Structure formats: structure tokens, C-alpha cells
């Protein structure tokens, strides 16, 4: 089972991604998390990526595309790809690589959310040290942390620096909502391809609660 998931930062993409990963027993490949791991470990790739990440800009395609395609090639049991592609260059490269490897794309999931709502959600979100996808947001009543701890497991919480920087958030959303060359353009590229193939394109209303979005997703799988 191979799945692509799209949604602006703040749409609950990571949370829904976890559900898909558990249901199908596939690897969750999250490009942002892969980069953060490199930065944390101080690798050469991490050093190259860090400044772009801090500014909310895309890490250059020459670095990102081979890194992701290499991980995909090693995930033969299926994958959920989250955070890639983010522009048309990445989308076309991904499509070519899938075709060449004979990999079928089973689902493409798009979580829709208005830009302003996404921004508010990002600024309030807190990351659990145990699982970054445990939902915690100081501005959303349904998923308020338990004091300063994770509401799911009690793990310690922190905020990502690029989540507290309004300029960086705006840049990330400029890229996401760009329907000509950006991330939405790549989602629509795969939507068009889905019409001519066995891929199913699922659209979800991300403004609903996590449980409702989960229900909508499961109903369409």
C-alpha cells in the first residue's frame, strides 16, 4: 500500500498519517522529520538544510529529491509519504521514479483547510517528545495539553521554533497554497493522474475535529 498525503502545515496531516500507517502497517516517511533528524544528528545534509528550514523555505530540490527517492526505494513494504512533493519539480520526479520502479500509488489524500485557520493551529501546536504526532494545541479546546504535558501520554512538550515565527509560517503557506508551481499544484497533478489510473484521490475537510476527519477518512478507504 502506497499513499501520498497533502495538507497545509497545521491541518492535522501528521495525526491522520499515523492512522493510515497503523491501519496498513506501512512506513511513515515525513520529509520534515527526516530533515530534523539530520539537523539533530549534525550530519552534512542537516547542516545544508538547517538555514532553509529556519526561514520556512524549501530545502533545494538537488538535496531533497534524491534523499526522499532513496528512502522510498528502501521501503518495499509500502509507505505513506508526507511533506513531499511540495512543488512541481518534486512531483514530476516522484511520478517518474514511481513509474520506473513499477510502484503503484493506491491513495492520494488531500486535507483541505483555510489558510488563516492553518496559521492559528500552527502557532498553538506543541510537540510531544514521545510522539510528535500526539495532538496537542493550546488554542484548540478539544486537544489542549494536560497542563504543560502531552494530553495523550504525559510526555514533555515543546514548540518548534519555525512554528513560532510568523514570517516562516507565511512562507511555508505561500508554498503550500500555490496552485501554479507549489504544493497544491503537485496535489492537483496527482489528482489528474488519478483519473487515468487505479489511484483513489480522497478529499477531507480538515476544519472538522480530529475524530470526524478520521471517520471521514476511514469511510473512504
Residues that bind ligand AMP (CB under 6 A): 9, 31-32, 35, 52-53, 56-59, 64, 83-84, 86, 90, 172
13 assigned to active site: yes
Cβ at position 156, least distance to ligand AMP in Å: 19
Cβ at position 49, least distance to ligand AMP in Å: 7
121 assigned to active site: no
**Among 36, 119, 121, 125, the one annotated catalytic:** 125
160 assigned to active site: yes
Q: With respect to ligand AMP, which residue has the nearer C-beta, 55 or 154? A: 55
180 assigned to active site: no
**Among 13, 119, 121, 151, the one annotated catalytic:** 13
For residue 111, the cross-strand partners are: 204
Evaluated on CA atoms 130, 213, 10, 112, the torsion sign reads: positive
Angle CA(167)–CA(172)–CA(174) in degrees, nearest 5? 90
125 assigned to active site: yes
Cβ at position 57, least distance to ligand AMP in Å: 6
**Among 36, 86, 126, 151, the one annotated catalytic:** 86
Q: In sequence order, which ranges of 1-152 are alpha helices (DSSP H)? A: 13-24, 31-41, 44-55, 61-73, 88-101, 115-124
**Among 149, 160, 200, 214, the one annotated catalytic:** 160
Residue nearest to ligand AMP (CB): 32
b (16+ CB within 10 A) / e for 145-158: beeebbbbeebebe
What is the spatial distance between Cα 39 and Cα 46, in angstroms, rounded to a whole number? 4
Is residue 140 classed as helix, strand or coil in its secondary structure? Answer: coil
* Residues tagged active-site: 13, 86, 125, 160, 172
Amino acid at each position: 500500500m502506497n499513499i501520498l498525503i497533502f495538507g497545509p502545515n497545521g491541518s492535522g496531516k501528521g495525526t491522520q498519517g499515523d492512522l493510515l500507517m497503523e491501519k496498513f502497517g506501512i512506513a511513515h516517511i515525513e520529509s520534515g522529520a527526516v530533515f530534523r533528524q539530520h539537523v539533530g544528528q549534525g550530519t552534512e545534509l542537516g547542516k545544508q538544510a538547517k538555514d532553509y528550514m529556519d526561514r520556512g523555505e524549501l530545502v533545494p530540490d538537488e538535496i531533497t529529491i534524491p534523499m526522499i527517492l532513496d528512502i522510498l526505494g528502501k521501503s518495499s513494504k509500502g509507505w505513506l509519504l508526507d511533506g513531499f512533493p511540495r512543488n512541481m519539480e518534486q512531483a514530476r520526479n516522484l511520478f517518474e521514479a514511481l513509474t520506473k520502479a513499477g510502484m503503484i500509488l493506491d491513495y492520494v489524500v488531500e486535507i483541505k483547510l483555510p489558510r488563516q485557520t492553518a496559521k492559528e493551529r500552527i502557532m498553538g501546536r506543541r510537540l510531544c517528545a514521545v510522539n510528535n504526532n500526539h495532538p496537542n494545541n493550546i488554542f484548540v479546546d478539544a486537544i489542549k495539553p494536560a497542563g504543560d504535558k502531552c494530553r495523550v501520554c504525559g510526555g514533555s512538550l515543546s514548540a518548534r521554533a519555525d512554528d513560532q515565527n510568523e514570517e516562516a509560517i507565511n512562507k511555508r503557506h505561500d508554498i503550500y497554497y500555490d496552485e501554479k508551481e507549489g504544493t497544491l499544484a503537485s496535489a492537483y497533478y496527482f489528482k489528474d493522474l488519478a483519473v487515468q489510473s487505479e489511484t483513489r484521490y480522497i478529499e477531507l475537510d480538515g476544519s472538522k475535529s480530529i475524530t470526524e476527519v478520521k471517520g471521514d477518512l476511514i469511510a473512504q478507504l
